């Protein structure tokens, strides 16, 4: 049986700011650009009590918390602290899979100290993180990535939660469907209409029905609710892209609604770029009309794509250039690729690529 740990630094950017600036401690704090188009990157736990969340427009955050303090991100500092934390991980295992600057999976089955208890390893890692960085982390421990990830959210902030194999099915049965990895708000709404609110109700749905409704994801939900996740922890590799996408509950016909959805996807993408410290110069739009085909269109530019101002105009242009012919849209996604440290000469000009990929959902 594998021993998997998921570690999530608590309110990472905000916590670093509160550590380095005593005047920010114990007050509602948000990291982000304080302007009319600014977005919250990370909110402190004091701010979260007022409903301030990541990816929320700064203006909305201020309405929810009028006394909110906002500070600009210091990515160089966050990357340095993240490096310190990863060095601690590698003291125990080389099987470390970073998901972002503040989050990672560790496979400690065959760890460097020959320790039998994954809980003991997790406790030591948390203690070392605090000792060396004065920051806290929440940790989940289980036998696969799905359960370890879910577990790390159960005792936030600054806690540990363990799901052992013999208790996994009972734990999953009581898990709200919104807690399942991969179930977003729209998927949760669909499940609610199907009478699925907890794991035990999801487990009662056949694989055939789940795949009919959710496509490939149906198999994933079917496995997860049975405690099955065969994905391995993949050691750190150079990230080639960062992206996000949204499958709509109902197909969108309106151009105005499509632009609104595109805007929200851009905000999500900017947040992920910031969290991962990724810099790229190619933007790809993915658009799906039906269950059997998808269309992609890309543009590569000279400048690094970091902000909403960088990305949104290009995203609108890509959307306009797609040959929709009045067809309704069921999925929309954006990806930034071509890492900035790649010195290929095609960055000197805009490069348009277009293609359609047939596949079964």
**Catalytic amino acids?**
103
Q: Quick one: tokens of 324?
A: 């929709």
Contact of 248 with 329, CB cutoff 8 Å: yes
Q: Quick one: tokens of 102?
A: 């503040």
Residue 71 forms beta bridges with which residues? Answer: 31
Tabulate helix, strand, coil % of the chain (nearest 5).
40, 25, 35
| Count, residues in the chain | 361
Question: What's the rounded Cα separation, in Å, for the pair 303 and 286?
Answer: 21
- Could you identify the residue written with the tokens 């996740």? 229
**CA nearest to 181, candidates 140, 148, 142, 143:** 148
Question: What's the rounded Cα separation, in Å, for the pair 6 and 335?
Answer: 25
Output phi, psi for 325, to 5 deg.
55, 40
**Residues 6 or more apart whose Cβ sits within 8 Å of residue 290:** 330
């Amino acid at each position: 049986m594998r021993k998997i740990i998921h570690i999530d630094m608590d309110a990472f950017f905000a916590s670093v700011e509160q550590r380095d600036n005593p005047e920010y401690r114990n007050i509602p704090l948000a990291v982000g650009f304080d302007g009319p188009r600014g977005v919250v990157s990370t909110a402190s736990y004091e701010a979260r009590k007022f409903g301030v969340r990541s990816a929320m427009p700064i203006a909305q955050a201020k309405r929810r918390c009028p006394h909110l303090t906002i500070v600009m991100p210091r990515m160089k500092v966050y990357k340095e602290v993240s490096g310190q934390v990863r060095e601690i991980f590698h003291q125990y295992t080389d099987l470390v899979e970073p998901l972002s600057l503040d989050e990672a999976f560790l496979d400690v089955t065959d760890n460097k100290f020959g320790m039998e208890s994954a809980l003991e390893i997790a406790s030591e890692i948390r203690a070392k993180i605090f000792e060396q960085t004065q920051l806290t982390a929440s940790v989940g421990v289980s036998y696969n990535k799905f359960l370890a990830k879910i577990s790390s959210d159960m005792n936030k902030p600054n806690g540990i939660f363990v799901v052992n194999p013999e208790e996994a099915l009972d734990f999953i049965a009581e898990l709200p469907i919104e807690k399942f990895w991969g179930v977003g708000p729209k998927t949760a709404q669909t499940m609610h209409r199907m009478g699925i609110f907890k794991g035990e109700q999801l487990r009662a749905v056949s694989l055939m029905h789940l795949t009919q409704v959710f496509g490939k994801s149906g198999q994933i939900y079917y496995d997860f609710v049975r405690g099955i996740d065969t994905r391995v922890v993949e050691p750190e590799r150079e990230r080639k892209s960062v992206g996000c996408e949204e499958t709509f509950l109902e197909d969108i016909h309106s151009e105005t609604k499509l632009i609104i959805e595109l805007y929200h996807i851009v905000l999500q993408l900017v947040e992920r770029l910031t969290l991962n410290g990724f810099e790229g110069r190619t933007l790809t739009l993915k658009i799906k009309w039906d269950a059997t085909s998808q269309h992609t269109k890309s543009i590569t530019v000279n400048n690094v794509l970091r902000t909403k101002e960088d990305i949104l105009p290009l995203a609108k242009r890509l959307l306009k250039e797609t040959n929709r012919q009045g067809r309704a849209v069921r999925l929309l996604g954006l990806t930034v690729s071509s890492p900035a440290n790649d010195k290929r000469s095609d960055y000197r000009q805009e490069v348009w690529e277009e293609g359609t990929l047939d596949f079964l959902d």
